[in-house]
Amino acid sequence: MTEKESEEIFKGIHFIRVGNLPVEQQEFFKEWLPGDQLIKIMIEKKIFPDCVQYHHYNHWYDHVYPTQEDAKRKVSKPVESKNQLFGFSFLKSTDPG
């Protein structure tokens, strides 16, 4: 599991930028986050459209992300190949006839 992102604070608003999260967290967080929770914050005349209040991210990281990570691990386990499963292998014939 990747580390928790530190919060940023601007004019009393505690937030994180989704685009600053590690890629794996971004994917899971975007799946979970309701679209109406994204906020735009203007800092020094630049608008950051992908901000989320830190308490939403904190809740997700502590309670939802571990279950998403666990589910990902279960799905991505390697599956034995059929020839290993049934105890035989395919051999290429070298006989031309």
Q: Output the pLDDT for position 3.
A: 93
* Within a domain: 62: yes
Q: Output the pLDDT for position 89.
A: 56
Query: What SS3 class is residue 71?
Result: helix
Residue 4 has pLDDT above 80, yes or no: yes
Confidence (pTM):
0.73
Describe the crossing of helices 23-32 and 65-75 by its angle, rounded to 10 degrees.
Answer: 110
* Within a domain: 3: no
Q: Output the pLDDT for position 8.
A: 98
Q: Output the pLDDT for position 7.
A: 97
Q: Which residues contact 83 (CB under 8 A, 6 or more apart)?
A: 89, 90
Question: Quick one: which of 57, 68, 54 has its CA closest to 24?
Answer: 68
* Within a domain: 92: no
Residue 97 has pLDDT above 80, yes or no: no
State which residues form the domain around 51. Answer: 8-86
Residue 60 has pLDDT above 70, yes or no: yes
Matching residue, tokens 């994204």: 38
Q: How many domains does the chain have?
A: 1
* Within a domain: 55: yes
* Within a domain: 60: yes
Q: Output the pLDDT for position 70.
A: 86
* Within a domain: 97: no
* Within a domain: 96: no
Give the C-alpha separation, 24 to 83, whole Å: 33
Give the C-alpha separation, 64 to 23, whole Å: 16
* Within a domain: 48: yes
